[in-house]
Amino acid sequence: MIPDKDFITSKDIPGPTKEEIRCLVMCKSKVSTGDIVVDIGCGTGGLTLEFAKRAKNVYAIDKNSDALDLTLKNLKKHNLEGKVNIVHNDALSALKKIDGLDILMIGGSGGDLEQIIEEGFKKLNDGGKIIVTSILLETPVEAIKILKKFEMNIEVINVAISKGKILERGTIMYSNNPITVITAQK
Amino acid sequence: MIPDKDFITSKDIPGPTKEEIRCLVMCKSKVSTGDIVVDIGCGTGGLTLEFAKRAKNVYAIDKNSDALDLTLKNLKKHNLEGKVNIVHNDALSALKKIDGLDILMIGGSGGDLEQIIEEGFKKLNDGGKIIVTSILLETPVEAIKILKKFEMNIEVINVAISKGKILERGTIMYSNNPITVITAQK
Amino acid sequence: MIPDKDFITSKDIPGPTKEEIRCLVMCKSKVSTGDIVVDIGCGTGGLTLEFAKRAKNVYAIDKNSDALDLTLKNLKKHNLEGKVNIVHNDALSALKKIDGLDILMIGGSGGDLEQIIEEGFKKLNDGGKIIVTSILLETPVEAIKILKKFEMNIEVINVAISKGKILERGTIMYSNNPITVITAQK
Amino acid sequence: MIPDKDFITSKDIPGPTKEEIRCLVMCKSKVSTGDIVVDIGCGTGGLTLEFAKRAKNVYAIDKNSDALDLTLKNLKKHNLEGKVNIVHNDALSALKKIDGLDILMIGGSGGDLEQIIEEGFKKLNDGGKIIVTSILLETPVEAIKILKKFEMNIEVINVAISKGKILERGTIMYSNNPITVITAQK
């Protein structure tokens, strides 16, 4: 994974998704070199860059043009812009123009989670995956409810990671905020 | 418990111990109205105040006179100074002057954990408790090793609490750093 | 707190609520000797017994008569049955017959969370508290949504506790399942 | 990652290391196709198999021949035995016979952690990694102390994962036991 500190950040844009969560999302997505990935709510570009390193093509979508600028800066910094389409649009409109995707990554939905999943499910290739990550209590509950309707195979994990800071007097553990990661396979 | 926000704090002094940890320490200590409590490394005074509300007498000990000043300010703010002896000394010297204690609370040991526990164990009344809280990885391991020598009944818990911030768009969970609480009964 | 192992249990009845969670619920409820407490979904009686030790009067309510029998057995074992009314009824019907309560404890709602909170809120004395504990993802989200409508002061915590087993070769940490505790004050 | 349920297990042999921990270890190790990996205390073979899928060569070492038999069964089940040398020996003796390794994975040390790390460090190629995973409180503290002597760049994370079980009445979260993962680079 790209170290957290190797991303250009902005105080107004969330992210990057922490290294360990990016690692787990890559594992859960089973992304491979032929995959088309759609990353909704790309923010700083943390997951976009990791998918770009592993997939065929990534659509990075955000309503916030500052987020897209930041994602692009990070892609350029790591020489990964070649595989990524930057899409400045709301998720639903953007999804409608894309066919045949393998991984739908939803890191932020702007309140349209149900329509995004419905549209994404239609476009998802067989065996494709929808992944939802959230720091909120509400989003996982809503996502599970929607994904159940499509009779997808759903996995829910909550990840609480703390990191040690090694000082002279000992190792202090600092917690990252817990993240819920939902993975559903078509 | 006294809400975290009701303590006077200082950026140079650790604490107060978060409300939920104070709550658990009070439960584990089984403190009651006749108890003599020694609180080593009192810092902001979080645990000192809670013990003062429930015990007969509390010795608040710290090597740092600024910590003792802050503890005293917090005691006065909550009208609890009557039951507390403020002791500006290293823990071991202070303990040697105290007899017959029921609860030895160790929140910071300044590297003298073994001698503090040895001396505290000698002074501890039958059925008395030694409690060690730590944000470090090393201190719990050291404490367990020492307490095993005294054939005390040892309980170890690690507590990871996250708190919700309720916003318009949902409830974000923020993690407190994990704390290990060790309780040993004589 | 009463140690977990001191409860009579049944494989068909959930609980008892683990010691540390009972401790935190007691702290969050700020239960005192004059309080009337209603405990909905009492199960094994873990929280019922702790409230009985601290409050004036407790109504233990469950739809499952086996749960009430088990709660009663545990109350008798700890000589606490004097303060507790065992109510075999659904929560909503039971609540309608009770006036002026100080603490509404909801450990299980049988799907009627909204009506239970609405009825409980009406009966709650000023300054009274509604507490919801849950092992589910869905219940906290639903509870927050309902409690927001009453403009109550809401606190949400998620508690993850692991306990050490001290063996010859070292201390293994075993996790309890995470519990969400919601506290709302009228 | 290989799903947890796709490993042959034995009640006497620990493991397999859970999927999410295997995922994080693979990320932290930055294993690549030219790497020589030594897996000490291979147990069920969880990490051995994942390294075998990604590295050039893996030495799976265990003092317990039943563990090695089980690892071999799992390697065969997943057609990965070609890249793995099964070594029935204590870790230290086994390490002495191996030159030029890139990743030293220590999942169990049988009390010889210091000598294993010392010998491993000598054999480790520049940029190589030592990874220690543990369910104990003591092992991470000991590992940090040893690794500091070699002036390695040390990272410590503690991972607490809970998994949802989706039922009719909601999603119950079940905790895996917390694991500490230490990564040190030469």
Look up residue B19 and give its DSSP letter: H
**E strand or H helix at D153, and its extent?**
strand D153-167
User: Is the pLDDT at D115 greater than 90, yes or no?
Assistant: yes
What are the chain A neighbours of C140 within 8 Å (beta carbons)? Answer: 137
Mean pLDDT for B36-42 is 97
Task: Quote the radius of gyration of chain A (alpha carbons, Å).
Answer: 16
User: Is the pLDDT at D82 greater than 90, yes or no?
Assistant: yes
D20, A19: Cβ pair inside 8 Å?
no
Mean pLDDT for C130-154 is 96
What mean pLDDT is reported for chain C? 96
Q: Using one digit for the tens of pLDDT, what is the confidence trace for B44-82?
A: 999 999 999 999 999 999 999 999 999 999 999 999 999
Cβ neighbors of A19 (< 8 A, separation 6 or more) are: A1, A2, A3, A4, D27
Q: Using one digit for the tens of pLDDT, what is the confidence trace for B81-101?
A: 999 999 999 999 999 999 899
Quote the minimal CA–CA distance from C90 to chain B in Å.
Answer: 30
Mean pLDDT for C35-61 is 97
Considering only CB atoms, D162 lies closest to which of A1, A20, A157, namely: A157
Considering only CB atoms, D159 lies closest to which of A140, A148, A161, namely: A161
Residue B17 buriedness (CB in 10 A; 0-12 / 13-18 / 19+):
buried
Q: What is the pLDDT of residue A111?
A: 81
Q: What is the pLDDT of residue A109?
A: 76
CB burial of C43-70 (b: ≥16 within 10 Å; e: otherwise) equals bbbbbbbbbbebbebbbbbbbbeebbbb
**E strand or H helix at D123, and its extent?**
helix D113-123
Share of chain B above pLDDT 70, in %: 100
User: Is the pLDDT at D110 greater than 80, yes or no?
Assistant: no
Q: Give pTM, 2 decimals.
A: 0.96
C-alpha dihedral over B89, B95, B99, B101, to 10 degrees?
Answer: 110
Interface pTM (ipTM) of the complex?
0.96
Q: What is the pLDDT of residue A108?
A: 79
User: Is the pLDDT at C5 greater than 80, yes or no?
Assistant: yes
What are the chain D neighbours of C139 within 8 Å (beta carbons)? Answer: 170
Question: What's the token pair of residue C125?
Answer: 């004395």
Q: Using one digit for the tens of pLDDT, what is the confidence trace for C62-99?
A: 999 999 999 999 999 999 999 999 999 999 999 999 98
pLDDT band at D88 (very low <50, low <70, confident <90, very high): very high
B137, D138: Cβ pair inside 8 Å?
no
> Whole-angstrom Cα distance, residue A28 to residue D27?
13
Mean pLDDT for A155-172 is 97
Find the angle CA(C172)-CA(C175)-CA(C181) to the nearest 5 degrees: 150
pLDDT band at A110 (very low <50, low <70, confident <90, very high): confident
Reference A17, options A39, A53, A45, A59; nearest CA is A45
Q: Does residue A166 belong to the interface with chain B, where contact is any CB pair within 8 Å? A: no
